C-alpha cells in the first residue's frame, strides 16, 4: 500500500540535502524518530496564547558528567523580559535548551504555558516548539538563500500559504530594518544585519515566547544596542523574551529583571 504523503512532506522531501539538514537543525529535532514537520499543510497558523515559563527544581548533568544546572527554580510571567547572565560555562545555553526541549532535565520539571515538557515527544513537542522563537549567537542562516527566503523558509515548511507568508514577511523585515536587504544573501550582510535576519526569522511566526542565546555576543556596542532595542520592541507587543548575555553593560542600561547563573546555580540579581 502506498502511504499518503501530505503536501508539506512533499515539499520537505524535494529540498536539497544541505537545506534539509539546516531546516532540521532549525526545527531542532529531539530524536531521529521525531517528525521534523509537525503539522499537515492545511493547518492554520498557531494562535498566540499566554505563556508562562517555569523551571521547578531543575538539575541537568550531561552524560560526560558536566554539571550544567543545579536545582534551578525560575518563574517567568507572560510578557516578561528577563536577562540571564553569568560567565562562560555557567549554564545559560543549557537553560534555554531545556526551555526549548532540546535537552531534558535529569530531575525537576520544565513547564511552558500549561504543558510540562517532561514527557512530551514527537509531534506534541514540535507543536510546543512552534510557539517558541529562537535566536542563536551564530545566526544559523541558510547561506544560499536570500534574506527574504531565510525568513520565509520556516513558515513555508510549516505549510503557510504564499499569501500568509507575504503578509507576515514584509512587516517583519521592516521591523528589523532590513526591507532594503531582502534580496541579499547572508554573506553580503554585516554581522549585525545577519543577527537581525535571525531575529526576523524567529518572530515571523509570531511566537508568544522568544529565546535569544547571546544575540549580541558577536556584535559591536552599536549593533548590540540595536538588537536589544528590537527585542524590547517585541516585548512591548506582548512577546515574552528571555535573553542570555555576558554583556553587563547592556544589562545595566535597562531595568528588566536579571538572573545570574554561576556553576549552574541561579540567583536573582534584579527582580
Ligand atoms: N552537550 C554537552 N555535553 C556535555 N557537556 C556540556 C554540553 N553542553 C554544555 N556542557 C557543559 O555544561 C556546562 C554549561 O554549559 P553551557 O553551554 O550551558 O554554558 P553557557 O553559560 O552557555 O556558556 P557560554 O557563555 O560559554 O555560552 C559547561 O560546563 C559545559 O561544558
Ligand atoms: Mg552559551
In a domain, 59, yes or no: no
DSSP state string for 126-152: HHHHTTEEEE-TT----TTS-HHHHHH
Looking at mean pLDDT, say which of 114-118, 119-123, 262-266 comes out highest: 262-266
Task: Give the end-to-end CA distance of the chain in Å, rounded to a whole number.
Answer: 59
For position 36, what pLDDT does the model report? Answer: 36
Cα distance between residue 27 and residue 191, in whole Å: 23
Whole domain around residue 154: which residue ranges?
15-29+78-94+122-270
Q: What are phi and psi of 261, to 5 degrees?
A: -105, 135
124: closest CA among 106, 112, 140?
A: 112
Give the integer Cα–Cα distance in Å for 268 and 101.
Answer: 23
Q: What stretch of H or E contains 31?
A: none
Contact partners, residue 254, CB within 8 Å, separation at least 6: 81, 83, 228, 232
In the prediction, which pLDDT does 19 show? 55
Q: Mean pLDDT over residues 38-44, rounded?
A: 44
Closest CA to 199 of 222, 180, 227, 221: 227
The one-character DSSP state at 192 is H
107: in domain: no
Task: Verify whether ligand 1 is closer than 6 Å to residue 85 (CB atom).
Answer: no
pLDDT given at position 52: 87
Flag whether 109 is in a domain. Answer: no
Find out whether 32 and 40 touch, Cβ atoms under 8 Å.
no
Task: Let me know if residue 54 belongs to a domain.
Answer: no
In a domain, 113, yes or no: no
User: Is 66 within a domain?
Assistant: no
- Is there a domain that residue 161 lies in? yes
Residue 75 pLDDT level (bands cut at 50, 70, 90): very high
Q: Model confidence at 119, in pLDDT bands (50, 70, 90)?
A: confident
Give me ligand 1 centre to Cα 215, in Å.
17
Write the burial class of residue 112 (CB in 10 Å: 0-12 exposed, 13-18 middle, 19+ buried): buried
- Over residues 17-23, the mean pLDDT reads 54
Percent of the chain with pLDDT over 70: 81
Ligand nearest the Cα of residue 95 is 1
Residue 26: pLDDT band with limits 50, 70, 90:
very low
Residue nearest to atom 26 of ligand 1 (CA): 88
The single residue listed with the C-alpha cell 553593560 is 249
Report the nearest atom of ligand 1 relative to the CA of 95: 18
Residue 2 lies in a domain: no
Note whether 218 and 137 are within 8 A (CB).
yes
Query: Which protein residue's CA is at the shortest distance from atom 18 of ligand 1?
Result: 91
Percent of the residues in the chain that have a pLDDT greater than 90, as a whole number? 70
Q: Return the CATH number at 222.
A: 3.40.50.300
Q: Which residues contact 197 (CB under 8 A, 6 or more apart)?
A: 139, 141, 147, 150, 151, 176, 178, 186, 189
CA of 198 to the centre of ligand 1 (A): 22
Residue 10's φ and ψ, nearest 5 degrees, are -55, -50
Indicate whether residue 264 lines ligand 1 (CB < 6 A). no
Q: How many domains does the chain have?
A: 1
Residue 270 has a pLDDT of 86
Report how far residue 102's alpha carbon sits from residue 29's, in angstroms, rounded to the nearest whole number.
8
98 against 249, higher pLDDT: 98
Reported pTM: 0.84
For residues 256-265, average pLDDT: 97
Query: Mean pLDDT across the chain, nearest whole number?
Result: 85
Amino acid at each position: 500500500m502506498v502511504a499518503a504523503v501530505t503536501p508539506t512532506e512533499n515539499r520537505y522531501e524535494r529540498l536539497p540535502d544541505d537545506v534539509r539538514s539546516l531546516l532540521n537543525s532549525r526545527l531542532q529535532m529531539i530524536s531521529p524518530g521525531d517528525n521534523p514537520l509537525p503539522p499537515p499543510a492545511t493547518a492554520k497558523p498557531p494562535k498566540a496564547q499566554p505563556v508562562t515559563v517555569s523551571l521547578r527544581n531543575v538539575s541537568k548533568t550531561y552524560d560526560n558528567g558536566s554539571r550544567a544546572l543545579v536545582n534551578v527554580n525560575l518563574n517567568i510571567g507572560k510578557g516578561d523580559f528577563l536577562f540571564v547572565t553569568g560567565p562562560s560555562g555557567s549554564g545559560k545555553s543549557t537553560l534555554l535548551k531545556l526551555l526549548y526541549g532540546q535537552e531534558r532535565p535529569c530531575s525537576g520539571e520544565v513547564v511552558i504555558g500549561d504543558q510540562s515538557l517532561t514527557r512530551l515527544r514527537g509531534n506534541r513537542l514540535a507543536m510546543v516548539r512552534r510557539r517558541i522563537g529562537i535566536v542563536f549567537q551564530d545566526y544559523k542562516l541558510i547561506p544560499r538563500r536570500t534574506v527574504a527566503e531565510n525568513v520565509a523558509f520556516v513558515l513555508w515548511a510549516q505549510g503557510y500559504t504564499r499569501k500568509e507568508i507575504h503578509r507576515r514577511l514584509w512587516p517583519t523585515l521592516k521591523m528589523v530594518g532590513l526591507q532594503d536587504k531582502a534580496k541579499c544573501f547572508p554573506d553580503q550582510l554585516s554581522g549585525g544585519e545577519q543577527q537581525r535576519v535571525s531575529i526576523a526569522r524567529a518572530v515571523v511566526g509570531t511566537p508568544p515566547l522568544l529565546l535569544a542565546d547571546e544575540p549580541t555576543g558577536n556584535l559591536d556596542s552599536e549593533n548590540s544596542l540595536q538588537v536589544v532595542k528590537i527585542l524590547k520592541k517585541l516585548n512591548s507587543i506582548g512577546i515574552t523574551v528571555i535573553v542570555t548575555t555576558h554583556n553587563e553593560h547592556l544589562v545595566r542600561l535597562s531595568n528588566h529583571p536579571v538572573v545570574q547563573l554561576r556553576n549552574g546555580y541561579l540567583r536573582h540579581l534584579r527582580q
